[in-house]
Structure 1
């Protein structure tokens, strides 16, 4: 009895799987429209096929999403907050301080630091979005570019600095000279007595002698 029962169970399960495949085969005669997730009828046409000929056809993506990072370097104050908050260390920054204000960002924030290097390695990025949250000038954003696949992983390293090697050398030397001139113009402080010299001095004698009571 168990032998024939197993055969019956196998026929039932096979028919159930085949009926499901046949039903989807019949429904595949109609295809879905290329609609965004935000559209009202996105989930109403779930029974239709949804194959697109990528990259010739693409599905609309949401405006607010976590995609490729971009830095508007002209508005960057090189505060280093994005590099510090990044959990995977995909942002590398090399700042060069300036002895004077360089200019202003689009929101009026003064610029005082050159960005000698501002690189983002998107192969390390985990798309958490923390760097865009802490940016005080909102110069670091995520664009709608999501397809940046490549055969060379080094192509995922995006550089946003506009400074040349000559400019980096000049600005570094300029700030070093400024620091040296500032230190030279600083008045010398009086020499501080060493603790060893203080310990060598004899202890001060008491100004009075203690009175010893006489024995009766």
Structure 2
């Protein structure tokens, strides 16, 4: 029994060593970087398989889903992307405007300020659901996949261009407008009761 186990151990070790030697000897032959659209993309089985990144890069498929980008000028702050996100990596804070704020590139009227629009790419699943529900198509997936950082906090991308001071100013403008409307409403009620 011991002799049989010893022979089996040597045979197993020899098979592993033979496979290692096969790959070691084939390492002199370098694989060609092929486009994923080519028919023989998966046919090449010999040679070095490691891509020498960043000097060499694998071609990116057109349908690849990578880093998110938000064109904040086209955002109507509808919050649909944050609601559909399965991992809650999108944080949005909106402030109601005192009137129309302009238009997006597709002609949609903007009525909300984006005080905060943050995406935590460390949490992102790259599912693309946020890009599908966006009515103005302001959130898109780019072809950039390498944004290497040394601090995880740097993976939270802030797309809002509004400073905290500007956000507070917009909140005060809204509160003032609402107070004026309430005062006018109360004055109208008093005038109606006085008749």
TM range (shorter): 0.7 to 0.9
Once structures 1 and 2 are overlaid, which stretch shifts more, 88-97 or 4-13?
A: 4-13
Structure 1 position 119 matched with structure 2 position 121: no
Q: Distance in 1 between matches of 2:24 and 2:189?
A: 90
Q: Distance in 2 between matches of 1:87 and 1:166?
A: 31
Q: Distance in 1 between matches of 2:2 and 2:174?
A: 89
- Give the match's secondary structure for 1:108: coil
- Give the match's secondary structure for 2:34: coil
Q: Distance in 2 between matches of 1:41 and 1:75?
A: 42
Matches within 5 A, 1:137-176: 137-176=136-175
Structure 1 position 35 matched with structure 2 position 34: yes
Q: Larger C-alpha radius of gyration, 1 or 2?
A: 1
Matches within 5 A, 1:33-112: 33-112=32-111
Q: Distance in 1 between matches of 2:117 and 2:46?
A: 48
CA distances 1:77-107 after superposition (whole Å, capped 9, x unpaired): 0001111111222111111111211111111
Q: Distance in 2 between matches of 1:141 and 1:126?
A: 14
**CA 1:31–1:180: 2 relative to 1, 3 Å:** same
Q: What's the CA shift for 1:6?
A: 3.1
Q: What's the CA shift for 1:44?
A: 1.2
Q: What's the CA shift for 1:163?
A: 1.6
Structure 1 position 188 matched with structure 2 position 186: no
Q: What's the CA shift for 1:109?
A: 0.8
Matched residue, 2:16: 17
Q: Unaligned stretches of 5+ in structure 1?
A: 192-216
Hey, which of these two has a bigger chunk of helix by percent? 2
Aligned-residue CA RMSD in angstroms?
A: 2.1
Matched residue, 1:179: 178
Q: What's the CA shift for 1:143?
A: 1.1
- Give the match's secondary structure for 2:175: helix
Figure out how many residues of one structure are paired with residues of the other and give that number: 190
What TM-score results when the alignment is normalised by the length of structure 2? 0.87
- Give the match's secondary structure for 1:188: helix
Larger RCO, structures 1/2 (Cα 8 Å, 6+ apart): 2
